[in-house]
Every structure is written in structure tokens, then in C-alpha cells.
Structure 1
């Protein structure tokens, strides 16, 4: 059965065809989602939500506008981004149980050791102080650009520009 035939069957709400599409694409979509959402259970929920959206919105898919895989990939990616931006998700991540930090308290240099083990800290420390601070916030502490803007009390546009510049500087160091 071809992909086009499967899409027609899904349009007709054929559950067997939907199961076939799920089996074909769930692993790759889950990979994309879990790259954005690090929590496995949350990523699985987003995958399920994505397939529900695919099921409900299959009638909007237009073969003339692109490949089916690209269409469902965008649905999954947008669902993950929506989840990350949702207030509930953000608040649940702010209120983590103290148990999540026990290993950091017991081994305070563990994170620094991992970063040093791959040699990244050496390169980051070669950057300008503002770059070190920005990269620490955005990449090591997981701040969004808006959160970094608020923390550093500088405009969002400046954070974006500095981030781009700092990453380019880091790329130059890594090429050496």
C-alpha cells in the first residue's frame, strides 16, 4: 500500500491505516520531540497529541504543498514547542523536587567535570566575559533568550545578536 493510499484511508478514518502510519513515523517523530522536550513522559504525551492532531487534521494536508512526512514533522515539532511555551509546563519545571538536586549537592563539580571532560569549558572561557555569561545562561542553565534578557537586563534583540556573535567566536576557537 502506498503512502497516498494510506492518506486516503486516514481521510476516511480507517484506523488500520492510521496504525500503519503511526508504526511508520512514531520513532522519528518521537526523536524530534524528545530533542526539544527532555522529559520522556512529556515527550510521549506530545507524540500522542501530535498523532491526534494528524488524525483530526488530515483533511488539511495538501500533496501540492509538500511531503506528508514534512507535514507531520511540523505538527510534531510545533506541538513540542507549544508544550515548552505553555504555562503549566514552565511552572512544573520551576518547582522541581529537591531529590533532583541531591547528586549535584553531593558532587558539586560533577557538571563542571563533564563539561571539562569534553574540553568545552576551555573554549568557552576563552570568549569575552559577556559571552561566557550568556552561553552559561542559554546553554548550560537552559534559559530561553527572553529569560536571559530579563536576567541580564538587556533587550531581547541584544541577547540574540550577542548569542549569534558568541557562537561564531566559539566556532572559530573550535576550528583551531
Structure 2
């Protein structure tokens, strides 16, 4: 099934299309979410929320603004960042036992391998060093643009401009 056919079925709210959508993208989205949250249960919970958002808001997807995968990836990333900033997440972090840290470290290595397996990091590595650092902070670590600005000791406007340029460069690499 092509992505266009899948989207047509999703717009019609075909339940089989939801299953196909989940099977195609759940592992990639989970990897991004877990990479930010570092907690299996929370990542699974956010993943469910993400698929509900995708399903309910698919009409807001605009093909002329970018690829479908990029759109759903942004939904996943934003949902994970929202969870990170929530009070519940902060409380959960305070309650983690030492045993959980071993699991987190083991599982995190698997997630990093999954991200590497889908090749995202390899494409990012082809960018200039400032782009690698900005994308790492904003997309892989979930920093806000202001936090990235502080970390890089770079004006906020420069981070925003560099981010747009870096994403454009990454798109160009992916289109080749």
C-alpha cells in the first residue's frame, strides 16, 4: 500500500488503515518518544496519545508543507516534550528507584540502535557541525530553542535561523 492510498483510507476513517498506520510508524515514533522521556511506560502512554491525535487531526495535515512522516514525527516529539514539562513527569522522576535506572540504560541503548537502524543519525552526521549540534539538542534531546541558545551560547534568533537552514539542508540530503 502506498502512502497516498493509506492517507486516503485514513481520511475515510477506515479502521484497517489505523492498524496499517500503527504497524508502519509505531516503532519509529516510540523511539523518538522514549529517547526524550527515558521511561518505557510513559513512552508507551504518549505513543497511544500520539496515534489518537494523528487519527483525530489527520485533516490538518497539509501535503504541501511537508511529508506525512515528518508531520507525525513532530506530533510525537511535541507530545513527548509536553509530557517532559508536565508536573506528573517531574513527580515520577523523583520516585524512580535505582532498579529502574538499569532498565532505562539498557533500553536506551536499544532505542539508540533503533534510531541508528532507521538511518536518521547517519543523515544528520552529513550536516555541518553546528547543524549536528542544533538538531541533536532540539530533536534528539528535546531542548527548546531557548535552551539550545543557552547551551550553545548563541543568540536565540541565530538558533532559529540555523535550525531552519539545517532542516532545509537535511531535506536536501534526503531527497538525493
The TM-score normalised by the length of structure 2 is 0.57
SS in 1 for 2:13: coil
Q: Which has the higher contact order (CA 8 A, sep 6+)?
A: 2
**Higher Rg of the two aligned structures:** 1
C-alpha change, 1:94 and 1:8, in structure 2 (3 Å) is same
1:67-106 correspondence runs (5 A): 67-96=67-96, 100-101=97-98
C-alpha change, 1:8 and 1:39, in structure 2 (3 Å) is same
The corresponding residue for 1:44 is: 44
Unaligned runs of 5+ in 2: 102-141, 154-176
**Pairs aligned (count):** 112
The corresponding residue for 2:152 is: 164
Counterpart Cα distance in 2 of 1:79 and 1:90: 15
Counterpart Cα distance in 1 of 2:72 and 2:147: 34
CA offset digits 1:95-122 (Å, max 9, x no partner): 34xxx24899xxxxxxxxxxxxxxxxxx
Deviation at 1:164, TM superposition (A): 2.5
1:22-171 correspondence runs (5 A): 22-96=22-96, 100-101=97-98, 161=150, 163-164=151-152
Counterpart Cα distance in 2 of 1:14 and 1:30: 23
The TM-score normalised by the length of structure 1 is 0.57
Deviation at 1:158, TM superposition (A): 10
CA offset digits 1:63-93 (Å, max 9, x no partner): 1110000000000000000000011111222
The corresponding residue for 1:127 is: none
